[in-house]
């Protein structure tokens, strides 16, 4: 960047500002101040820093830009438009059309426009992740940086530098106040992720007013304590200082970098004291016109892009990116010839495709009255799948020995500071960040999973919800699923959590009832490539059903099925999930011996069952049979649809208690005797 180019640099920055102002004002909704203040940072990153080809926005080795302060979304849309980022089709291939058109910006925050109030992944190429809740974006960026380290470690060779990209995240005071950001920063510092750079907009403003109201910590000192390299820029408008700071990040080889950038929110607006309004509300057309005049741009022309600005981006980012992509294509072509097996793995990863034979090692479990805990069978199935799916990677929030989520086969290894090739991740006790990080890894093409105790979905819910919003096939392994936790007591016994997880649209909640249901639920979930799945698994043993006497476990793919039946139309239907399926089976055996016609329905995944045809649902739950009993160690709420107005529910309506799990079940009346009594009470 030369001194002679300063005029076009300023013009490009000011164009980002005016497009953002006009869009917010036209919508009469949004936040103009932050895009105005941070326009120089976005400009410097895209046009003079990032290894990014606008014509190939899904290039695997591209640098990533994450706008964590998602309320500044117009900043991203303006830059993507000016940079000429291309749209992509359903297969992720460039179409040649712009990702963000000027008319999209003109329809900011309107239904049908990809320019939503906060960036939404999948709405337009160039939006790397959904950043609504503050802290989510920076947390995703840690997962993206970890993914690059893992990919480079496993696939780069001395001759083939396939993966070598940086992750830049632009964040605000609000992001860094959120606890999840600190969790993520702590792990990033521990792992020494030197490919990760957060640029912190230190503007001293939140929606309520000055940050002094609630935030007075020394951010630099905190991040230094977390193991980060900290660089300061006194003025966000100083492009040379930004260039120098980014250079210090690129030169740092042993830790992530935080660049603290001092900005004035709404910079350029004539009434600079109106910082609160600039952040949280449109400026008003009069003030927009005055700001444009101050920039030297036509005051009365809306959505104006001066001649030469798009060409300026094309001459810098466009040329640099095209050259970099062309060079990478040559490396990739040679790699495919030199390392065909590794290249085949990467082709599967790039396509989001499961490799041939991925499920051939999934075990079939022998019938056993003693059975096993589903957390144990889950561990066996997980290992059988991950051994065949080379890009499956994940870990636990410090609980791998308990939730059996560690990969134990030869070569699995650990992902550790400076040793990034392993597939076992160690998140520490950071559940919320874990969920956000595995989202970032999934967005990078890996098939990621995260594990903890089910009760701690309280901490993870934000990240799980974003998995569903972004259609990411993340798997959540959630053990210790009920009052069966026993002695640990109410704080560790999930009660409302099944209902809460089932309430997340787009999340498939699997609660398998025996070891073979675990296997078939995994087989089903792995083939869902556009939604997350949650596996809710027991600590206590449960019978492994004799499938020669019941329906095959493969019926789990339909979400609910008749596992045991009587001759003719049943008089009563017993239904359950997880460990309570066994109570239904035992109750049915007793009732059948007494001459009753009983059907047992296993419901491992309500979401899948609800998606089946009306004819199939009727075949499982005939409308004529209104005598139904549902059994689950959770709340009734999500069962009402299936038991009907005449049905009965055996489960929880309070929190749990501390004691041996069998005694806790008796204490709350979740027993075979209770199921039998309910069936006879109609």
Q: How many helices (H) and strands (E) does the chain have?
A: 26, 22
The whole-number pLDDT of residue 209 equals: 72
Paired sense of beta strands 368-373 and 257-262, if any:
unpaired
Residue 344 above 80 pLDDT?
yes
The whole-number pLDDT of residue 215 equals: 82
DSSP assignment of 202-246: E--EETTEEGGGT----HHHHHHHTT-EEEEES-TT-HHHHHHHH
Residue 112 lies in a domain: yes
Question: What length does the chain have?
Answer: 682
The whole-number pLDDT of residue 247 equals: 98
Same domain, 177 and 300: yes
Does 431 qualify as catalytic in the annotation?
yes
Contact 399, 452 (CB under 8 A): yes
What mean pLDDT do residues 488-508 have?
98
Same domain, 113 and 226: yes
**Helix, strand, or coil (residue 362):** coil
Six token digits for residue 244? 């120098």
Same domain, 608 and 536: no
Same domain, 538 and 643: no
Same domain, 590 and 528: no
Last residue within a domain, chosen from 543, 568, 584: 543
Q: How many CB atoms lie within 10 A of CB 464?
A: 25
CATH number at residue 315: 3.40.50.970
d(CA 582, CA 575): 10
Residue 548 lies in a domain: no
Same domain, 321 and 375: no
Same domain, 318 and 442: no
Residue 210 lies in a domain: yes
| Residue 274 pLDDT level (bands cut at 50, 70, 90) | very low
The whole-number pLDDT of residue 264 equals: 82
Same domain, 534 and 626: no
Contact 598, 591 (CB under 8 A): yes
Tens digits of residue pLDDT in 377-412? 999 999 999 999 999 999 999 999 999 999 999 999
89 CB-contact burial (10 Å; exposed 0-12 / middle 13-18 / buried 19+): exposed
Last residue within a domain, chosen from 325, 356, 385: 325
Contact 487, 659 (CB under 8 A): yes
Same domain, 320 and 468: no
Last residue within a domain, chosen from 325, 348, 376: 325
**Helix, strand, or coil (residue 410):** coil
Tens digits of residue pLDDT in 97-115? 999 999 999 999 999 999 9
Residue 337 lies in a domain: no
Residue 270 above 70 pLDDT?
no
pTM: 0.96
Residue 210 above 80 pLDDT?
no
Contact 83, 47 (CB under 8 A): yes
Residue 277 above 80 pLDDT?
no
The whole-number pLDDT of residue 1 equals: 38
What mean pLDDT do residues 653-674 have?
97
d(CA 368, CA 435): 35
d(CA 679, CA 244): 74
Residue 551 lies in a domain: no
User: Element (H or E) spanning 82, and its range?
Assistant: helix 73-83
Six token digits for residue 101? 């058109």
What mean pLDDT do residues 540-552 have?
97
Quote the number of domains for the chain. 3
Same domain, 93 and 235: yes
Residue 245 lies in a domain: yes
Same domain, 565 and 525: no
What mean pLDDT do residues 261-282 have?
58
Least Cα distance to 62 among 37, 23, 92 occurs for: 92
Domain that holds residue 60: 3-325
What mean pLDDT do residues 34-53 have?
97
First to last CA, the chain: 82
Q: What are residue 572's DSSP bridge partners?
A: 598
d(CA 150, CA 444): 11
Least Cα distance to 65 among 86, 91, 84, 44 occurs for: 44
Mean pLDDT of the residues in the chain: 95
Residue 520 above 70 pLDDT?
yes
Residue 275 above 70 pLDDT?
no
Percent of the chain at pLDDT above 70?
96
Tens digits of residue pLDDT in 617-661? 999 999 999 999 999 999 999 999 999 999 999 999 999 999 999
Could you say which of 148, 183, 431, 543 is catalytic? 431
The answer to which of 364-368, 398-402, 498-502, 513-517 has the lowest mean pLDDT is 398-402
Residue 29 lies in a domain: yes
Residue 553 lies in a domain: no
Residue 4 above 50 pLDDT?
no
Same domain, 60 and 153: yes
CATH number at residue 613: 3.40.50.920
Least Cα distance to 450 among 515, 391, 394, 511 occurs for: 394
């Amino acid at each position: 960047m030369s001194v002679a180019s300063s005029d076009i640099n300023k013009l490009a920055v000011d164009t980002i500002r005016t497009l953002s102002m006009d869009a917010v004002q036209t919508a009469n909704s949004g936040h103009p101040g932050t895009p105005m203040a941070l326009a120089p940072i976005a400009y410097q990153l895209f046009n003079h820093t990032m290894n990014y080809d606008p014509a190939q926005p899904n290039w695997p080795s591209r640098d990533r830009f994450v706008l964590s302060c998602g309320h500044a979304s117009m900043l991203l849309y303006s830059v993507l438009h000016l940079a000429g980022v291309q749209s992509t089709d359903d297969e992720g291939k460039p179409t040649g059309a712009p990702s963000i058109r000027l008319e999209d910006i003109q329809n900011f925050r309107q239904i049908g426009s990809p320019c939503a109030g906060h960036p939404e992944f999948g709405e337009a190429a160039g939006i790397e992740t959904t950043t609504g809740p503050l802290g989510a974006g920076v947390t995703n960026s840690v997962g993206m940086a970890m993914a690059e380290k893992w990919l480079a470690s496993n696939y780069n060779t001395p001759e083939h530098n396939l993966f070598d990209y940086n992750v830049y995240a632009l964040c605000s005071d609000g992001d860094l106040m959120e606890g999840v950001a600190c969790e993520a920063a702590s792990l990033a510092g521990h792992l020494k992720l030197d490919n990760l750079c957060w640029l912190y907009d230190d503007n001293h403003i939140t929606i309520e007013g000055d940050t002094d109201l609630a935030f007075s910590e020394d951010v630099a000192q905190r991040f230094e304590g977390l193991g980060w390299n900290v660089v300061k820029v006194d003025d966000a408008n100083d492009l040379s200082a930004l260039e120098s700071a980014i250079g210090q990040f690129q030169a740092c080889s042993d830790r992530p970098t935080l660049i603290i950038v001092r900005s004035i929110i709404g910079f350029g607006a004539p009434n600079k004291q109106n910082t609160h309004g600039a952040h949280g509300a449109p400026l008003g057309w009069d003030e927009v016109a005055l700001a444009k005049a101050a920039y030297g741009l036509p005051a009365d022309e809306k959505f104006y892009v001066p001649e030469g600005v798009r060409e300026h981006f094309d001459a810098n980012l466009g040329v640099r990116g095209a050259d970099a992509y062309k060079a990478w294509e040559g490396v990739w072509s040679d790699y495919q010839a030199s390392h065909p097996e590794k290249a085949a793995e990467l082709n599967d990863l790039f396509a989001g495709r499961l490799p041939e034979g991925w499920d051939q090692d999934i075990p079939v479990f022998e019938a056993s009255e003693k059975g096993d805990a589903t957390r144990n069978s889950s561990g066996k199935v997980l290992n059988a799948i991950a051994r065949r799916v080379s890009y499956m990677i994940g870990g636990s929030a410090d609980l791998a020995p308990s939730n059996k989520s560690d990969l134990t086969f030869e070569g699995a290894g650990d992902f550790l500071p400076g040793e990034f090739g392993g597939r076992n991740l160690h998140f520490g006790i950071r559940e919320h960040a874990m969920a956000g990080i595995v989202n970032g890894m999934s967005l990078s093409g890996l098939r990621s999973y995260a594990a903890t105790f089910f009760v701690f979905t309280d901490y993870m819910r934000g990240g799980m919800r974003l998995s569903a919003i972004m259609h990411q096939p993340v798997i959540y392994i959630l053990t210790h699923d009920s009052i069966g936790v026993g002695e640990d007591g109410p704080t560790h016994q999930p009660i409302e959590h099944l209902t809460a997880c089932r309430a997340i649209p787009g999340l498939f909640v699997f609660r398998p009832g025996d070891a073979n249901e675990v296997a078939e639920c995994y087989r089903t979930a792995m083939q869902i490539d556009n939604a997350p799945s949650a596996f809710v698994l027991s600590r206590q043993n449960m019978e492994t059903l004799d499938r020669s006497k019941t329906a095959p476990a493969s019926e789990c793919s339909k979400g609910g099925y008749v596992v045991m039946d009587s001759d003719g139309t049943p008089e009563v239907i017993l239904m359950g999930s997880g460990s309570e399926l066994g109570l239904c089976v035992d109750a049915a055996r007793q009732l059948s011996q007494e001459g009753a016609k009983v059907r047992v329905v296993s419901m491992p995944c309500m979401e899948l069952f609800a998606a089946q045809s009306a004819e199939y649902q009727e075949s499982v739950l005939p409308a004529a049979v209104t005598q139904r009993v549902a059994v689950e160690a959770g709340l009734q709420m999500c069962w009402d649809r299936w038991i009907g107005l005449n049905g009965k529910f055996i489960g929880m309506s309070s929190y749990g208690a501390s004691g041996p799990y069998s005694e806790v079940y008796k204490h709350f009346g979740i027993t075979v005797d209770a199921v039998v009594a309910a069936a006879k009470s109609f």
